Amino acid sequence: MRKYETIFILHPSLDEEAVKANIEKYKTVIENAGGVVENVDFWGKRKLAYEIEKISEGYYTLINFDSQPQLPEELDRLFRINDSVIRHIIIKEEK
């Protein structure tokens, strides 16, 4: 098992229920794949450093988790096909 962290930004037009549902969805994906979610840090709505497709703010969420090396690839695929996710990044934490 390796340590990873992911930060993703959700579209600002989502309501509170949809934001919580998206966060739960990604937590569930990690747990169902045998990973362990260590921390979920919801930062709320923040201004983006630069506009992305005329969007200037979004909902930021940070998740720290342990998993096998195959899970980040699947998580990346799920982030890419979800239109609610504006940007995302998955980083392997160094020891």
Per the CB < 8 A criterion, the answer to whether 56 and 87 are in contact is no
What are phi and psi for residue 68, nearest 5 degrees? -75, 160
Question: How much is the average pLDDT of 29-37?
Answer: 92
List the domains of the chain with CATH numbers: 2-92 (3.30.70.60)
Tokens of 91: 């980083």
Q: In DSSP terms, which residues pair with 44 in a beta bridge?
A: 60
- Average pLDDT, stretch 65-86? 94
Burial class from Cβ neighbours inside 10 Å (0-12, 13-18, 19+) for residue 82 reads middle
pLDDT at 95: 72
Note whether 4 and 66 are within 8 A (CB). yes
How do residues 46-60 score in pLDDT, each as one tens digit? 999 999 989 999 999
Asked whether the beta carbons of 9 and 59 are under 8 A apart, the reply is yes
pLDDT at 80 over 90: yes
